[in-house]
Amino acid sequence: MSANQLPSAHYLVTAPGRVNLLGEHVDYNDGFVLPAAIDRVVKIAANPRGDHIVRLSALDLTSTTAFSLDHLDEKKDLTGSPLPGWAMYPAGVAWTLQRHGYAVNGVDAWFTSNVPIGSGLSSSAAVEVAFATLWRAVGGWQTDQMTIARLCQEAENQYVGVNCGLMDQFASAHGMEGHALYLDTRSLDWRPVPMPAGMAIVIADSRVRRSLANSAYNERRASCEEAVRLLQQDLPEIKALRDVRPEEFHRLAHKLPEIVRMRAQHVVEECARVEQAIVKMEAGDAVGFGRLMFEGHASLRDLYQVSVPELDALVRIAATLPGCLGARLTGAGFGGCTVNLVEEDKAEAFVQQLKSLYRAETGKQGDVYLCRASQGPSIVEK
């Protein structure tokens, strides 16, 4: 058995990573997002135990740990040492499930992943959803996928300590083959939206690891809240930037400080782009959808200012290559990946050209790979 090959076990679970096609930095403004689950997955092989011990092996990291389900508040392993960072995610899921009254059983589990860590494709959400799916099967209880997503988000927020929105866990839990997922982050209404026919998703990893400083994120979030506060003087009914239509914003934008105006303009127009994208996709208008992706990147670069030169290079190069209809940074920015909408019959050549030209321009060896919109989690019981 190779280092990252799973052993034979009673349960085999998979859960996908995700890419966000459109709708960036709008989730904390109650906006609309358009992610898709992708065929990059976390896989878990697990055997149930008769006690409250969880033994975990992260095969890709060649690291193991064990902890008791009776002492999860301590965030320590059986020897009393702090849990390693990677183990906080499954431990957090167990902790959250227990807090909500779900049965959580001891397991021996081995897991591996081909979702790149730190690239903005939500490796952590895939781990969380995979373990929640496992414990649901072992415990014999039922709940819907949105509840699974919200429990996993709570684990990351309150146990791991990462203040993420719901989109990542939602997309991993609800993935549908051949479809993106439209989510209203306020109401949690959602529906699948068909990907345009004949189109491939190509993800390009800049290999610049996100150093998303809390200060940069918090500054942008504060600017959005300040924009709402100031705009409420003329639009008293609004509760978040998602409530502001673009025409209203541009009528009132002169009343906002420059940085606040820039941040808010991105959010208001990005929400509108997602709504336009749904119309384009349901009409099969791949060209129109791709144009919205390019516009979204320009807004993230110039107004929200979360891009970096390597991401800009990937988008700029992609736009010159045959078959590329759209490209933009995906995820929080400050590194990570771009997502590209490419004609299927030109996708293989696109991958090779983008990789080669990116290296020539930046000196960095990026990873570029074909993906497809894929199913959510699955479990096989032997």
Q: Kindly report, residue by residue over 165-207, the tens digit of the pLDDT.
A: 899 999 999 999 999 999 999 999 999 999 999 999 999 999 9
Q: Distance between CA 155 and CA 349 in Å, rounded?
A: 41
Catalytic residue among 39, 168, 205, 243: 168
Q: Distance between CA 240 and CA 178 in Å, rounded?
A: 32
Structure-block tokens of residue 211: 């150093």
User: Which domains, ranges and CATH numbers included, belong to the chain?
Assistant: 11-195+375-381 (3.30.230.10), 199-371 (3.30.70.890)
pLDDT of residue 212: 57
pLDDT of residue 58: 96
pLDDT above 70 for 30: yes
pLDDT of residue 123: 84
Q: Tell me the mean pLDDT in the region 46-60.
A: 97
Residues 6+ apart with CB under 8 A from 363: none
77 is an active site residue: no
Calculate the alpha carbon distances from 159 to 68, 78, 97, 165, 272 in Å: 15, 18, 12, 14, 34
pLDDT above 80 for 6: yes
Pairing, β 179-184 against β 199-205: unpaired
Residues 6+ apart with CB under 8 A from 264: 223, 224, 227, 231, 241, 244, 249, 253, 256
Q: What mean pLDDT is reported for the chain?
A: 95
195: Cα within 13 Å, side-chain hemisphere: 27
Strand partners, 67: 54
Q: Tell me the mean pLDDT in the region 225-235.
A: 98
pLDDT above 80 for 367: yes
* Per-residue DSSP letter, 10: S
pLDDT digits (tens, 9 = 90+) for 283-298: 999 999 999 999 999 9
Q: pLDDT band for position 243 (50/70/90)?
A: very high
pLDDT of residue 209: 79
pLDDT digits (tens, 9 = 90+) for 80-110: 999 999 999 999 999 999 999 999 999 999 9
Q: Tell me the mean pLDDT in the region 15-38.
A: 95
pLDDT above 90 for 155: yes
Residue found under tokens 């239509």: 245
Q: Tell me the mean pLDDT in the region 51-57.
A: 98
Task: Quote the pTM value.
Answer: 0.92
Q: Distance between CA 378 and CA 16 in Å, rounded?
A: 9
pLDDT of residue 252: 98
| Nearest alpha-carbon partner for 262 in 249, 271, 275 | 249
pLDDT above 90 for 365: yes
Largest pairwise CA distance in the chain? 66
| Nearest alpha-carbon partner for 381 in 10, 111, 129 | 10
User: If residue 135 lies in a helix (H) or strand (E), which one and from where to where?
Assistant: helix 123-139
| Nearest alpha-carbon partner for 220 in 266, 169, 253 | 266
Q: pLDDT band for position 118 (50/70/90)?
A: low
